Chain A
Amino acid sequence: MDADERLRALWQGQRLPAMPAAQLLARVQRHQRRLRLQRVLEAAISLIAVAWFIAIFLHRPFAPVEWLLLPYFSTFLVVAWSFNLRHRPRRQAVAENTQVYAGLRLAQLRARLRELQLVRRSAQWLLGYALAALLLALFRGTPDWHRATLSLAITAVVWLLGCELIARHWSRRCRREYRALRRLR
């Protein structure tokens, strides 16, 4: 037996995890159901937000907090869904040969990094908008506007921190995968 055959025999003689195929299939199907449920939840949350604004618009005048949230929601929902719908995660590329996959995936990762940068920027813009509204309300507004702008500013700070944490985590993962795949090109 030559060295190559010996190596092959060693490799193919590995003891493999004893997980039945049926169990693996059940996991795959569970995972698919979870992804579908996640998509349904995202759609439901968006629809509830839109329905909430429409219901308010039809039944009573907007309160200060709703006026403040309107520009935020009208941009946030559009941007979030455009990201969501554009992300077709690796599905088309994954069955291609490795060179093609690496090329497509690298382009996806670059786009993902740009989007994460956009997420950070939009959270910073929201904070800027909330602080500007707060300052304006403090000088010119009524107590209702004070309360509304203050709660928007607090939410914007929390939102910025959350976005920063998530964006940092995903950027790190993307960069790690990018470095690994670049070696294949």
Chain B
Amino acid sequence: MHALWPEVERCLPHLWRTVRGYEANPALQEELMQEVLLAIWRSLERLRTQDSLLPFVLRIAHNLGASHVRDAARLPRRLSLEEAAPEEAAADPAEEERRWLLAAVRRLPLPLRQVLLLQLEGFDYREIAGMLGISVDNVGVRAHRARRQLQEMSDGCG
């Protein structure tokens, strides 16, 4: 086993959340997660420093997530809470909001979704720019558009 694998295991919650941002079906989420872990396993030897492990594994997850996207990214239409997440019914309002957020994120076009997902994981614009290979200004534009589209979806759920 690679020396860094236990550190990768600590990144699993980040990886699961990223995978869930790309795939709604739980069985396919597992399949994608497995693909991501396999790619990480094979790429670990190319990692220079342990400090950059989280960006490294998330970059792989986003790349494979983008390849995994089944339907063409569409402009989001208005999204109601009822259709937000077909998974099990939520017990509390916070869980309901989480389900809505997850479904709304999945509806964002890929370039906006990647920026938003990384922002939600706590990365700043400069780090996101490095991970996606785009300029910091571009990250700002995409983040702004992503939030505006989330707001539009939220307004449409009344």
Residue of A nearest to B38 (CB): A28
Q: A7-B120, A21-B12, A98-B131 are in contact. Are A180 and B42 (CB under 8 A)?
A: no
Would you call B59 and A12 a contact (CB within 8 A)? no
Contacting residues of chain B (1-56) with chain A, CB-CB under 8 angstroms: 1, 5, 9, 12-13, 16-17, 20, 26, 29-30, 33-34, 37-39, 41-43, 46-47, 56
- Chain B residues contacting A179 (CB-CB under 8 Å) are 72
Q: Which listed residue, A31, A97, A177, touches B34 by the CB 8 Å rule?
A: A31
Would A180 and B5 count as touching, CB distance under 8 A? no
Number of residues from B at the complex interface, CB < 8 A: 54
What is the distance, in angstroms, from B42's C-beta to the closest C-beta of chain A?
Answer: 6
Q: Complex Cα distance A94/B97, Å?
A: 33
Residues of chain B touching chain A, judged by Cβ–Cβ distance below 8 Å, are 1, 5, 9, 12-13, 16-17, 20, 26, 29-30, 33-34, 37-39, 41-43, 46-47, 56, 59-60, 62-64, 66-67, 69-73, 94-95, 97-98, 101-102, 109-111, 114, 119-122, 130-134, 150
Q: Jot down 29 A-B pairs with beta carbons below 8 A, ordered by A.
A: A7-B120, A8-B122, A10-B94, A10-B98, A13-B94, A16-B13, A16-B17, A17-B16, A21-B12, A24-B33, A25-B1, A25-B37, A27-B37, A31-B38, A91-B39, A95-B39, A95-B59, A96-B63, A96-B133, A97-B131, A98-B132, A98-B134, A102-B63, A105-B67, A180-B73, A180-B110, A181-B66, A183-B73, A183-B110
